[in-house]
Structure 1
Amino acid sequence: MSDPQSDDEKRTDQLTSAPDATEEDAAPRIDVTHREGVTRVDIRDDAAVRPGPGQGDPAAEED
């Protein structure tokens, strides 16, 4: 019987199973904090993929 994987291990396995995938593909993209009954989700500054309009999208130039 094998040891059960943690959620982080399962996530890494899933994100690195595609052909040509690297460990960088499984890098964290968000930080989650819990304080006084409030959950906050922040996009990491070093995340390779971020939400919102991408390069070449005119909406990206509006800000």
Structure 2
Amino acid sequence: MSDEKSFEENRHDQLTSAPKATEADAAPRIDVTKHDGVTRIDVRDDAAVRPGPGQGDPAAEKDVPVSGD
């Protein structure tokens, strides 16, 4: 038996070690899928923390141009 922790165990320990951390802080935030040699990373719909401007940030209200438009 190995004493080394798995990636998920290390991630959980790191994300829950702060004084006010909760189990929710260690919840998964992305889904990774692989298909025909292509890796896709999607932010989960139920992720508590999401990339981009947050609610109440004026940048969140602006239309952001999409590349190619």
TM-score when normalising by structure 2: 0.83
| Shift, 1:33, TM fit | 0.5
Alignment-derived partner of residue 35 in structure 2: 35
Alignment-derived partner of residue 66 in structure 2: none
Residue identity matched to 1:58: P
Matched, 1:22 2:22: yes
Name stretches of at least 5 consecutive residues in structure 1 with no aligned partner.
Answer: none
| Shift, 1:2, TM fit | 6.0
| Shift, 1:24, TM fit | 0.5
Using the alignment, how far apart are the partners of 2:31 and 2:2 within structure 1?
Answer: 30
- From the CA coordinates, give the structure whose radius of gyration is larger: 2
| Shift, 1:3, TM fit | 2.3
Identity within the alignment, %: 78
Using the alignment, how far apart are the partners of 2:44 and 2:24 within structure 1?
Answer: 14
Name stretches of at least 5 consecutive residues in structure 2 with no aligned partner.
Answer: 64-69
TM-score when normalising by structure 1: 0.90
Alignment-derived partner of residue 47 in structure 1: 47
